[in-house]
Structure 1
Amino acid sequence: MNTESVLAQWHEAERRARAGIGSPGVASRQDLRARSGLQFFEDMLAGRLPGPPIGELMDFVPVEFEVGRFVFQGTPGARHYNPIGTVHGGYAATLLDSCVGCAIHTQLPAGKGYTTLELKVNYVRPLTAETGPIRAEGKVVSLTNQIGIAEGRIVDVRGKLYAYATTTCLLFPLPDA
């Protein structure tokens, strides 16, 4: 598939995601406890649960997910720049933390939560406003009763790698209140 076709598909996926996702907010504890990770994201993208506030702040949206895999898409711009004229590393780290954590979340049963214990990011090349749309794809590597391990990659429409990450997440039962 050529770059223009991929770009058109990515723009359409982002348009659909933005049209369906709920307004930014935080899901209630009851909503979190009542849904598996997969159900949680299905309801979020259908507008039945709020979307992630961080996505609005940094302008990225979830565009694809399945069990053990999660993809966010965004377009870095000058508003994300550091003082030396490239996108701040925190932008890539945030997208990677989001995609790897959400990939783990897709495999969690109702009543179980997670938090990042460790995030290791390797930056391969700088992001700029000229990079265009990027995708951060997270995939689960291992999941036990207490620990989730995942890896993630940020690529552009040509498949060029910009950053790579691994994470370890702690899994725990969500409290009632």
Structure 2
Amino acid sequence: MERSKTIHWQDPAEGATKAKQKSGLDYLQAMNNGEIPLPPLLHTLDFSVESMTPGVAVFSFMPQEFHYNPIGSVHGGVITAILDSAMGCSLHTQLPAGTGYTTLELKVNFLKAVTIKTGRLRGTGKVIFSGGRTALTEAQLIDDNGMLYAHAVSTCLILQPK
């Protein structure tokens, strides 16, 4: 049986422009409150923003068939995307207006298969260290019972305004 999914989103350039005018935490909270459009990736992968606090970002998703790889489990790229989002946004919550970041390096450990039977998963990202030019972040993907499915670490480059 064929399935389908329809996705709607708003112009991502609008949000990107506003990102430069607010502190990272204010920007992400405005996005979470619906004042700024969510990035298309969240709609595409059906991720939700749960919370943004200084140094911590939490995303969640319910595994669906459209997340599957050819062997019947959630694709590692989907898991990596939610962990990368959580890690990057955890850093973004600590940045002043006009300062950006980009991922330099990302490592993910996949610890347990994810399927539609797994239930809702939360990716919680935290800043481990933030310096003048680089930052180290980590994230965990955990179910409602506290079971760990994946762990990631990332090194980010902090982009100072010119």
TM-score, scaled to structure 1: 0.83
Q: Is the 1:125–1:162 Cα contact (8 Å) retained in structure 2?
A: yes
Provide the identity percentage: 41
| RMSD of aligned Cα (Å) | 1.5
2:91 paired residue number:
104
Q: d(CA) in 1 for partners of 2:23 and 2:130? A: 15
Counterparts of 1:27-42 in structure 2, within 5 Å, are: 27-42=14-29
Deviates more, 1:76-85 or 1:99-108: 76-85
Q: Give the superposition deviation at 1:174.
A: 4.3
- Are the counterparts in 2 of residues 26 and 52 from structure 1 also a CA contact under 8 Å? no
Gap change, CA 1:24 and 1:53, over 3 Å in 2: farther
Following TM superposition, by how much is the alpha carbon of 1:47 offset from its aligned partner in structure 2, in angstroms?
Answer: 1.5
Alpha-carbon contact 1:112-1:174 (below 8 Å) kept: yes
Partner of 1:166: 153
Tell me the amino acid that sits aligned with residue 82 of structure 1. N
Q: In structure 1, what is the Cα distance between the partners aligned to 2:11 and 2:110?
A: 29
Tell me which protein shows more helix as a share of its residues.
1
Q: How far off its partner does 1:25 sit?
A: 2.8
In the TM superposition, residue 79 of structure 1 has moved relative to its aligned partner by 1.1
Deviations, residues 116-173 of structure 1 (Å, cap 9, x unaligned):
0001000000000100100000000000111111000000010100000000000112
* Aligned residue number for residue 51 of structure 2: 64
Structure 1 stretches of 4+ with a deviation exceeding 2 A read: 22-30
Question: Are residues 1:149 and 2:133 paired?
Answer: no
Which ranges of structure 2 fall in alignment gaps of 5 or more residues? Answer: 1-8
Contact 1:33 1:174 in 2 (8 A): no
Instruction: Go from structure 1 to structure 2 and tell me whether the alpha carbon gap of 1:164 and 1:67 turns closer, same or farther (over 3 Å shift).
Output: same
5 Å-filtered alignment, 1:131-146, equals 131-146=118-133
Tell me which moved more, 54-63 or 25-34. 25-34
Structure 1 residues 168 and 54: alpha-carbon distance in aligned structure 2, compared to 1, 3 A threshold: same
Secondary structure of the structure 2 residue equivalent to 1:110: coil
Counterpart contact for 2:87–2:139, Cα < 8 Å: yes
Give the drift of 1:30: 4.0
Q: Is the 8 A contact 1:24 1:51 kept in 2?
A: no
Q: Relative to structure 1, is the Cα distance of residues 85 and 24 closer, same or farther in structure 2, using a 3 angstrom cutoff?
A: farther
Letter in 2 for 1:162: Y
Residues 23 and 50 of structure 1 are in contact (CA less than 8 Å); yes or no, is this contact kept in structure 2?
yes
The answer as to whether partners of 2:108 and 2:152 remain within 8 angstroms in 1 is yes
CA distance in 1 between counterparts of 2:27 and 2:151 reads: 26
